[in-house]
Structure 1
Amino acid sequence: MVLQRLVRAVIMGPPGSGKGTVSLRISKSFGLKHISSGDILRANINAKTELGLLMKSCIDQGQLVPDDVMSRLILSDLRTVDRCSWLLDGFPRTVYQAEALDDTCTVDTVINLNVPFQTIKQRLTSRWTHLPSGRIYNTDFNPPKVPGFDDETGEPLVQRDDDKQDTVTRRLKSYETQTEPVLEYYRSKGVLETFSGTETNKIWPHVEVFLHRKLAAISQRMA
């Protein structure tokens, strides 16, 4: 699809909801640049920028990164890609951040992946990782040939702290508390579109159909 004007989209959903997979498919199918707040954060920390050092200090002390710092970081990066259409992933996470984004640009659509928490818990707590390579296995649908060991090296697999039951439950609760108000904020603006399901491959066709229709409408309005 050839877009007649720049499109600003946001994708939301709890950790483990399939945002990464859906984002890549949107980028490939519609030409939107996938912008991950996590990638921006890591890049700034690695480059030891002023904001990166400030964020690292917060993270090292186990503190949440302040809204204004996170907003300054992401919005500064967005200004460097103001000539292309993009899909923003991982930001905004609070209403303050959503308002800061609105002050910078107009968000055309917000795609919300609504996956049951029980499905996500099962999905994440079944993940095991080969740390040296980053290969990820899932005991439900992508198990290693030998339980507990990497297929290629035979080295032991580990379960990351992020994938342990208590951590997953805490992360999901945090998402629900922080992000539900953001969903309501975008719902009240009429730009929120929610897709519910338990499997990414079944959710994706609905996202694809919606985006074809949405982007065609945007192009017609600007023609």
Structure 2
Amino acid sequence: MRIVLVGPPGAGKGTQAAYLAENLSIPHISTGDLFRANISQGTELGKQAKAYMDAGNLVPDEVTIGMAKDRMDQPDAANGFLLDGFPRNVSQAEALDASLNADGVKLDAVLDLEVPEDEVVKRIAGRRICKNDSSHVFHVTYSPAQQEGVCDTCGGELYQRGDDSEETVRRRLEVYHSETEPIIDYYKAQGLVVTISALGKVSDVTQRAMDALKGDRAA
């Protein structure tokens, strides 16, 4: 299957992408991984991306699209892939369609993870990270530390990252609504969109997604 995964920040796209890719035996292709791999390997596209990023500028669509196309052309993606974080806007979606059409293939589904805005803010703004080890992550509501402000694992101080503040999260949501959300309508016109609730246990959301991708639109 060739799938695009969309949803607002905090919807759990990365988590669901990993589980779905494993269940479907297709590679999980994320924008972040593409950038890191190309930059670390010193590819021409990686060098271009790094130059823009070092200058504090956004990486142009054509560079991102080039990285994605190179990755989708790899042998392990011959029978499908799951795109996470790409396309990010309608112009990227159009370029993706053109690239796939040129190869004589097309997308099978666009999985839209739906989460109420207030829940997104609650999920992200409630995160607390250990200053000693950023892999120690807690949540004030869903997985609180035994002692407020103190890491259960190492006793380090817990803090809220600047980009996890409610104000920043709401700004990120505004960007999502204005830039990325329009691709849902773009793909709806092609009959590709499957929308599911991303609320509840991770395993429940994964099962919901698998059912929906198999054609159970009532999932």
- Tell me the TM-score range normalised by the shorter chain: 0.7 to 0.9
| Conserved 8 A contact 2:21-2:28 | yes
Post-superposition Cα deviations, 1:150-178, rounded to whole Å, max 9, x if no partner, equal 11111112222221122111111101100
| SS class of match (1:213) | coil
Match of 1:162, as an amino acid? D
- Deviation, structure 1 residue 192: 0.8
- Structure 2 gaps of 5+ residues are 101-105
Distance 1:44 1:25 in 2: 24
Name which of 81, 85, 92 aligns with 1:97.
92
Distance 2:108 2:89 in 1: 18
Distance 2:52 2:96 in 1: 22
Instruction: Output aligned runs, 1:148-163, within 5 Å.
Output: 148-163=149-164
- Deviation, structure 1 residue 32: 2.4
Distance 2:114 2:201 in 1: 11
Instruction: Output aligned runs, 1:33-112, within 5 Å.
Output: 33-80=27-74, 81-105=76-100, 106-112=106-112
| Conserved 8 A contact 1:116-1:197 | no
Distance 2:183 2:57 in 1: 21
Name which of 210, 213, 219 aligns with 2:212.
210
Post-superposition Cα deviations, 1:113-158, rounded to whole Å, max 9, x if no partner, equal 1111110001100001125242211110101122112111111122
| SS class of match (1:129) | strand
What is the match of residue 175 of structure 1? 176
Query: For structure 1, which segment, 21-30 or 185-194, has the greater mean C-alpha deviation from structure 2 after superposition?
Result: 21-30
- TM-score normalised per structure 1: 0.85
- Deviation, structure 1 residue 197: 4.9
| SS class of match (1:189) | coil
Distance 1:63 1:178 in 2: 17
Distance 2:214 2:191 in 1: 18
Distance 1:159 1:113 in 2: 25
What is the match of residue 142 of structure 2? 141
Corresponding position: 1:114 with 2:114: yes
| Conserved 8 A contact 1:44-1:52 | yes
Larger helix proportion of the pair:
1
Corresponding position: 1:188 with 2:182: no
* RMSD of aligned residue pairs (Cα, Å): 1.8
- TM-score normalised per structure 2: 0.87
Match of 1:54, as an amino acid? Q
Match of 2:139, as an amino acid? N
Count residues with an aligned counterpart. Answer: 208
| SS class of match (1:38) | helix
Percent identity, aligned pairs only, is 37
Structure 1 pair 19–51 and aligned structure 2 pair: CA distance change class (3 A): same
Post-superposition Cα deviations, 1:37-57, rounded to whole Å, max 9, x if no partner, equal 111112222333332232233
- Structure 1 gaps of 5+ residues are 1-6, 215-223
Distance 1:100 1:192 in 2: 18
Instruction: Output aligned runs, 1:25-36, within 5 Å.
Output: 25-36=19-30
